[in-house]
Amino acid sequence: MRRTVREIGWAVRGACRGSDPELFFPVASSPEQEERAKAVCAGCPVLADCRAYAVRAGEPEGIWGGLTVRERRGLRFPPGWRRAAG
């Protein structure tokens, strides 16, 4: 638990702190809403921390670090990646 608090301590400095969470976690996403969320992220002082956290944690929803779920998955599992057969 202690590690998690320290790991996401950067979040209090995020540009999104004063924004409506629906912008980043919409019920039904649209390209326009996605672009508005990414615009907030673009000027964020903790963009790299947020992005690294979301990719590492496998965040299943929302815009984190200026990336959608699909974009984050692309970083975690690049083209050609295959899970080892078990």
- The binding site comprises 16, 41, 44, 50
* CA terminus-to-terminus distance, the chain: 31
Q: Residues annotated in the binding site for [4Fe-4S] cluster, as ranges?
A: 16, 41, 44, 50
- The answer to whether residues 31 and 18 touch, using CB atoms and an 8 Å cutoff, is no
Nearest Cα residue to 22 out of 33, 32, 10: 33
Quick one: tokens of 18? 């004063």
